[in-house]
Amino acid sequence: MKPLLDVLQSRIPERRPIWVMRQAGRYLPEYRAVRDKAGSFLKLCYNPELACEVTLQPLRRYDFDAAILFSDILVVPQAMGLALDFREGEGPVLQTVHNSSDVDQLRSVGDFAEFSSVWQTVELVKAGLAKKKTLIGFCGAPWTVASYMIEGGSSNRKQALAVALENPAWYGQLVEKIIAASVLYLLGQIKAGAEVLQIFDSWAGDVPMAAQKRLVIDPIKRIVNAVREVHAGFPIIVFARGVNSQHSAVAVGTSASAIGIEEDCSLAAVLASLPDKMAVQGNLAPSALLGSSDALKVAVGAVLQGVPKARHIFNLGHGITPQVDPAMVAKLVDYVRAYDAEQL
Ligand code: CP3
């Protein structure tokens, strides 16, 4: 009935589901207007009415199959007690942790005021969503969230990786707390109406293969298990960006319902390596939206080649960038639909 849910639950969808990471974002003038009205990105995240409005904006413009909650993965460390700021043109600036006593001071259970306003956004979006559209909730994966808590921003993750590899004791304590807070955050999103979850491990590609199980797979699996203990079989998309040849190990190791794939990685090849009914999501390069329409059409065809709609969620390989012309996104949706119509 809902194309995205159908794919995640191994039914044949009536059409190939499409959504775009960062679909509510700066490339849309109406997003920029609401963000200005809110005063800042973070104020927007914590204002349920305005956050609901920007969550729904892309669905008014485009025939997408899903809305993704408007919030940020860094809401979790902020709720745990770390000061957070987003500076124009600089990205996030997060207070850092340096040792086990810093970790001891973080909160991971109890009431989080930050979370309740996000949950309220979910409720409002759910109430405003058309019948066939699916509402996606999300959180960051422990490795990616920990990397921001250790480095304070989007740097090169070298320091975070050194801690994870050389100080497994306090890194492990930190991850335990991130898992506890993330599970609470996600269960609240489900209670408020989220129908699918995506776990973003944006920096998974930085982790050496020998440490992938401990740093990427096992912590995500803990979150998946904790959610499904309460909601059996809940649909969860795991996006371990950049693991390339290791997507099937991540898929199997985390029990994801679908696996997100970065660009420059063949969807058809990953699909062939996955267990029977598992789906893939992705993976048009965001830069394909910056070139000509003709080049975009060719790039869309290359992504779709050999990838059946029953096992695919169309998306980009990473978030859409602010420079994109909104008209190109409409063309993207048209090209995907036209490709499928020609196959019939
Ligand atoms: O996808 C959506 O439309 C839903 C909302 C969403 C945002 N961030 C809004 C946002 C989601 C799912 C995220 C996830 C997120 N946040 C990730 C994982 C996905 C990824 O992109 O790898 C990460 C690493 C973050 C942390 C973060 N937030 C960074 C590094 C930045 C700065 C980079 C940038 O694009 O500016 C943000 C800011 C942010 N989060 C913006 C939006 C729309 C732009 C801020 C603005 O409007 O000023």
Query: Does the CB atom of residue 157 touch ligand 1 within 6 A?
Result: no
| Ligand 1 binding pocket mutation candidate from 18, 22, 156 (most atoms within 8 A of CB) | 22
For ligand 1, the distance from its centroid to the CA atom of residue 338, given in whole angstroms, is: 30
Strand order in the sheet with 279-284: 66-68, 134-140, 196-201, 236-240, 258-260, 279-284, 312-316
**Confidence at residue 88, expressed as pLDDT on a 0 to 100 scale:** 79
The H-assigned helical ranges of 9-99 are 29-38, 41-45, 48-61, 75-79
Give residue limits of the domains in the chain. Answer: 3-343
Beta carbons within 8 Å of 343's beta carbon, 6+ residues apart = none
**Confidence at residue 41, expressed as pLDDT on a 0 to 100 scale:** 96
- C-alpha 236/C-alpha 122 separation (Å) is 17
The class that CATH gives domain 3-343 is: alpha beta
Tens digit of each residue's pLDDT (9 = 90 or more) over 76-108: 999 999 999 998 778 999 999 999 999 999 999
**Confidence at residue 344, expressed as pLDDT on a 0 to 100 scale:** 65
For ligand 1, the distance from its centroid to the CA atom of residue 61, given in whole angstroms, is: 20
Nearest CA to ligand 1 atom 42: 25
Catalytic residue chosen out of the listed positions 6, 72, 201, 206:
72
Tell me the C-alpha to C-alpha distance, in Å, between residue 58 and each of 106, 197, 251: 36, 19, 29
- C-alpha 285/C-alpha 63 separation (Å) is 20
**Confidence at residue 106, expressed as pLDDT on a 0 to 100 scale:** 97
Task: Answer for the pair 74, 140: CB distance below 8 angstroms, yes or no.
Answer: yes
Could you identify the atom of ligand 1 that is nearest to the CA of residue 58?
Answer: 3
Helix/strand/coil for 15 = coil
148 among known catalytic residues: yes
Catalytic residue chosen out of the listed positions 31, 46, 62, 148:
148
Query: Does the CB atom of residue 202 touch ligand 1 within 6 A?
Result: yes
- C-alpha 193/C-alpha 68 separation (Å) is 12
193: left (phi over 0), alpha (psi -120 to 50) or beta: left
Beta-ladder partners of 68: 136
For ligand 1, the distance from its centroid to the CA atom of residue 272, given in whole angstroms, is: 31
**Confidence at residue 154, expressed as pLDDT on a 0 to 100 scale:** 84
Could you identify the atom of ligand 1 that is nearest to the CA of residue 32?
Answer: 47
The two structure tokens encoding residue 144: 């990616």
**Confidence at residue 109, expressed as pLDDT on a 0 to 100 scale:** 87
Nearest CA to ligand 1 atom 23: 73
Tell me the C-alpha to C-alpha distance, in Å, between residue 164 and each of 132, 209, 330: 42, 14, 42
**Confidence at residue 285, expressed as pLDDT on a 0 to 100 scale:** 98
**Confidence at residue 90, expressed as pLDDT on a 0 to 100 scale:** 85
For ligand 1, the distance from its centroid to the CA atom of residue 139, given in whole angstroms, is: 11
Q: Which residue stretches of the chain have pLDDT < 70? A: 344
The H-assigned helical ranges of the chain are 3-8, 29-38, 41-45, 48-61, 75-79, 100-104, 113-128, 142-151, 158-166, 168-192, 212, 218-230, 247-254, 267-273, 293-304, 326-343
| Ligand 1 binding pocket mutation candidate from 37, 57, 73 (most atoms within 8 A of CB) | 73
For ligand 1, the distance from its centroid to the CA atom of residue 72, given in whole angstroms, is: 6
Task: Answer for the pair 70, 42: CB distance below 8 angstroms, yes or no.
Answer: no
The two structure tokens encoding residue 8: 């995640």
- C-alpha 206/C-alpha 242 separation (Å) is 8
26 among known catalytic residues: yes
